[in-house]
């Protein structure tokens, strides 16, 4: 598969050099491009007892607060649906809310499984990207989502890599629709066997906001951390013509 040529710059003056990782490297003006590169981390040692205790505490809080709350929402929505049998439009909206809530509940259960030492991942990665993300985003937001898989993409990748890549794609798509107003998103999965995997998310939105709030927020921070966890590199290029995110994962780490 050949590289994608994406028109990112609108012809403005070149951005002044910035130190990678500094606050200025997160700033963007219309017509300029920001590259956010995350270096490959050093090999991590065994988990400490403190880290294990923290994971269990987070799992308990997620179960007792979020999972229980979602269960209550599902029950209430089902009750409301039964009470509104004579209103087809409202029942359709309730069906959509029930579907979305169940999807979130399943995501939380998967997260809890991972925190408790389970695999945290039970699906084929490509199928999950197409069905869990592409189909879901098209239904919820009306954005056109196309997924292209190169013939060299491996049949299976490690579960921890699959889960983190899926979350990176999900966050990039959310930013594209909710912050950039994108109507079209492309997800490209390609590979250079024995060297690396590449995941690209390309949208036609208005680019990342000019303020620092989003760029320093939890979304991009989470994507950077996820790429580090699997030994990868994250690069984001954004302009008024759209945003391109590229995650590169070493082959030895992914397969």
> pLDDT averaged over the chain?
77
Q: What is the pLDDT of residue 165?
A: 95
pLDDT at 241 over 80: yes
pLDDT at 59 over 80: no
Mean pLDDT computed over 187-205? 96
Read off φ and ψ for residue 237, nearest 5 degrees.
-120, 130
| 23-36+124-254 under CATH 3.30.565.10, yes or no | yes
Spatial separation of the C-alpha atoms in residues 100 and 37, rounded to whole Å: 33
pLDDT digits over 101-118, tens only?
A: 887 887 787 777 767 766
Mean pLDDT computed over 4-28? 36
pLDDT at 30 over 60: no
- Measure the CA angle with vertex 212, ends 13 and 216; round to 5°: 120
Would you say the pTM of this structure is higher than 0.75? no
Better pLDDT: 153 or 99 = 153
Which neighbouring-strand residues pair with 249?
A: 197
Q: What is the pLDDT of residue 201?
A: 98
- CB–CB of 75/105 below 8 Å? no
- Strands (DSSP E) found in the chain: 144-149, 184-192, 196-203, 233-239, 242-250
Better pLDDT: 250 or 90 = 250
Residue boundaries of the structural domains of the chain = 23-36+124-254, 49-115
């Amino acid at each position: 598969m050949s590289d994608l040529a994406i028109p990112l710059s609108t012809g403005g003056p070149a951005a002044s050099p910035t130190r990678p990782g500094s606050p200025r490297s997160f700033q963007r003006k219309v017509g300029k491009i920001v590259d956010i590169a995350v270096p490959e981390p050093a090999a991590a040692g065994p988990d400490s007892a403190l880290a294990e205790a923290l994971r269990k505490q987070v799992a308990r809080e997620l179960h007792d607060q979020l999972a229980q709350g979602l269960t209550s929402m599902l029950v209430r929505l089902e009750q409301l649906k039964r009470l509104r049998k004579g209103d087809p439009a409202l029942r359709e909206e309730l069906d959509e809310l029930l579907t979305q809530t169940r999807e979130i509940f399943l995501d939380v259960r998967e997260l809890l499984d991972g925190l408790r030492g389970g695999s945290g991942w039970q699906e084929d990665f490509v199928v999950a990207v197409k069905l869990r993300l592409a189909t879901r985003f098209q239904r919820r937001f009306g954005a056109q989502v196309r997924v292209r898989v190169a013939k060299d993409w491996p049949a299976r990748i490690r579960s921890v890599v699959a889960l983190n890549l899926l979350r990176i794609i999900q966050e990039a798509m959310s930013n594209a629709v909710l912050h950039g107003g994108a109507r079209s998103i492309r997800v490209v999965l390609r590979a250079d066997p024995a060297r690396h995997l590449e995941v690209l998310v390309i949208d036609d939105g208005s680019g990342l906001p000019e303020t620092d709030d989003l760029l320093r927020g939890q979304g991009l921070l989470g994507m950077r951390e996820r790429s580090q966890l699997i030994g990868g590199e994250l690069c984001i290029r954004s302009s008024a013509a759209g945003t391109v995110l590229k995650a590169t994962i070493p082959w030895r780490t992914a397969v």
